[in-house]
A and B are shown apart, each in its own frame.
Chain A
Amino acid sequence: ILNVEQSPQSLHVQEGDSTNFTCSFPSSNFYALHWYRWETAKSPEALFVMTLNGDEKKKGRISATLNTKEGYSYLYIKGSQPEDSATYLCALSRSQGGKLIFGQGTELSVKP
């Protein structure tokens, strides 16, 4: 993998469904994997920064895992709510404070 890739591109779920997205990235020269939540007309909001293989982080109903050896991260949302509707971006950094290489994002729509 040469780029940061996210799947699916978009996802439509019902309120209460649990869902997950994938971020794949080149495993060489890895420093950190970032997840952002981006609502329309707002700033992207940092969710997680993950650096260690096997890392698992949680914030409320949202959690993320990291596998640096195989180059992927999963983001899980438990019991999706309409307010979770947003684009979820992942980004790779190769050094501390370094530039971010973004995936195209997964657009989540949660219907009440």
Chain B
Amino acid sequence: GAVVSQHPSWVICKSGTSVKIECRSLDFQATTMFWYRQFPKQSLMLMATSNEGSKATYEQGVEKDKFLINHASLTLSTLTVTSAHPEDSSFYICSAGHRTNNEQFFGPGTRLTVL
């Protein structure tokens, strides 16, 4: 099956620093990648949809200047949490849409803790 990697798997940072999370599709090309966030005991909530070579589309309530998304190639998308604060502590997970079917394949997620 299609494999999506995500790096790092966990990160602890100080308040005010920026953190970059990478999402890679390893064995297929993904024109669209999605970034989700999950708070404890809640659903996966879509943050933004990222299309290769164009600007990301953000969901309502998600600050595009705080969560910078870059999708520079068909196999890589990055999410940068800028000037992170404790309320940004969460589980972030990406998925990649396969070009030939309806499926989305997920990475293993990144646990971000901001002190």
Contacts and interface: CB of A to CB of B under 8 A. Distances in A.
Given A31-B102, A102-B44, 17 more contacts: A32-B102, A42-B108, A43-B108, A43-B109, A46-B103, A46-B104, A91-B44, A97-B32, A97-B97, A97-B102, A99-B46, A102-B45, A103-B43, A104-B41, A104-B42, A104-B43, A105-B43
Interface residues of B, number: 24
A31 B102 CA distance: 10
Interface in B23-82: 32, 34, 36, 41-46, 49
A100 B46 contact: yes
A43 B106 contact: yes
A55 B104 CA distance: 20
A42 B103 CA distance: 18
Interface string A51-74: 100000000000000000000000
